[in-house]
Chains A and B, each alone.
Chain A
Amino acid sequence: MTDPHLQGLPGAVVHDEIVPARAPWLHRVRRGETLRIVDLEGNQAVDFLIYAADDDAERYSAQDTVAAQGNIFLRTGAMLLSNEGRPMMRIAVTNVDYHDTIGGACSCESNTLRYGHFTKSQHACVENFLTANARAARGKRDMVSNINFFMNVPVEADGALGIVDGISAPGLTVDLLAEMDVDVVVSNCPQVNNPCNGFNPTPVRMIVSAPAEQPA
């Protein structure tokens, strides 16, 4: 086997799936498993939320995460914290310099502000999050600030910020080690009005690895 996307995973592959361009994804990742996201064609924003499997009122908190690490960018080693300050997942390794968690998700409604009312009927990440979460009996109250893997949102000295050209590339990855049992909810971003997907939404690959084999 020479599949380069599987190299370096800690254990056996227990799930392997291509999420089509523009699609939602919901998956339970168990504590100790590693979720690898592969940016197959490069600069594809992967909007990402995490819910504690035991109590989904506990969920990923961008604010707790950036406050605890004292930095707004998510890099290798970043601990992704819940709204109650507990570790949910950790970025075990990524070969992208940093990922965003400030920019949030695109929505039909915010698109009307950002680009004009002509975008109201375009598909958006909030639609994907709501669709995926509905299958787990979650709804709009479960929407919070998310992670945008493979998306670039710099902040200038005067506070100016925006989604700019990406710093990812085809085949780059992020490995997420689950620190608790979690529901991962993804929107493979359908946005076509800014450079978050290089103006061309593409598929991504989701690979879940079992923990490393313990020596007998």
Chain B
Amino acid sequence: MTSQTADPYGAQAHARAMAGTKVEAMPTVPAAAGDAPGPVVWEETIAAGGYASRRLARGARLRLIDLAGDSCASLLLFNAEQPVERLNVADTLKVQWNGYLGEGKLLLSDMGRVLASLLVDTAGTHDAFCGASNQASNERKYGEGANHTAHPNARDRLMLGVAKHGLSRKDVHPCLNLFKGTRIAPDGTIEPQVGPFPPGREVILRAEMELIVVLANCPHVLDPRPGWSVTPLRATAWRGEVTPPGDPVRTAAPEGLRAFLNTEDYYAR
């Protein structure tokens, strides 16, 4: 019996017969979502162990849903026009005088501006301290950690995400982990909160600048479970208005207001 892919015509027919296949983790193109309140610009379910990166316009909303209660969204943010400006986790905590992320918190750049604000948070368990797993930590825990294996690590996922925008290893900066949390004991001990949690918890971010968003969905580096456990992450983005002067998140704290003023000053062109 001859192979059906022995010549280009057969190979083409074979390839085309796959079109329309649906799997759990995939983008919807063109972007569409029945449950988004605005014009959808991105809809994708990111695989367990997967990653995605995307440009978002100023004012866009990005909703992340922990579909099955065990995702860990490691997040990098860049000013898309000038990616040397990026999320600064230390400034994000220090300027807001708090180590725990939640509704109303701002994600600040290293240039004193607001990259994004956290408008909605039904999870409440996030982590700004521990960062990404790396190949060495995954190898210790799961026996392997490289991108081509079944147990990829968050750092190398983020590296691929930034590479798709012309960036490289030096651009994988300290990250935030959404949906997996940490709490800090008085003696400094880091207490991980990894769940698993009820399905469907969500966060909605508002892009306060033109952004490159990079997401990796790998087990939290301090996940105490012996098995590599993570579930798919849904990302939906829609167009939205740029933050108006009276916005309550903009005016909530004097430090944050100055970050918005700096951002607005940057876009005064």
Contacts and interface: CB of A to CB of B under 8 A. Distances in A.
Most buried by A among B89, B112, B173, B189: B112
Interface in A153-175: 153-155, 157-163
Given A104-B89, A145-B89, A162-B97, 10 more contacts: A57-B170, A68-B137, A70-B189, A84-B155, A109-B111, A109-B113, A110-B95, A113-B95, A117-B258, A146-B90
Given A159-B98, A162-B94, A66 B130 contact: yes
A131 interface: no
A144 B110 CA distance: 10
Interface string A136-160: 0001111111100000011101111
Contacts of A107: 91, 110, 112
A63 B132 contact: yes
Interface string A65-88: 011101111000000000111100
A176 interface: no
A109 B131 contact: no
A61 B94 contact: no
A70 B135 contact: no
Contacts of B91: 104, 107, 110, 113
A103 interface: yes
Contacts, number: 141
Contact of A84 (B100, B136, B184, B188): B136
A161 B98 CA distance: 5
A143 B88 CA distance: 9
Interface in B28-84: 84
Given A66-B129, A141-B84, A161-B94, A114 B190 contact: no
A41 interface: no
Contacts of A158: 98, 100
A66 B174 CA distance: 12
A62 B188 CA distance: 14
Contacts of A122: none
Interface of A: 57, 61-64, 66-68, 70-73, 83-86, 98, 102-105, 107, 109-114, 116-117, 126, 139-146, 153-155, 157-163
Nearest to A143: B110
Contacts of B170: 57, 141-142
B243 interface: no
B146 interface: no
Contacts of B259: 113
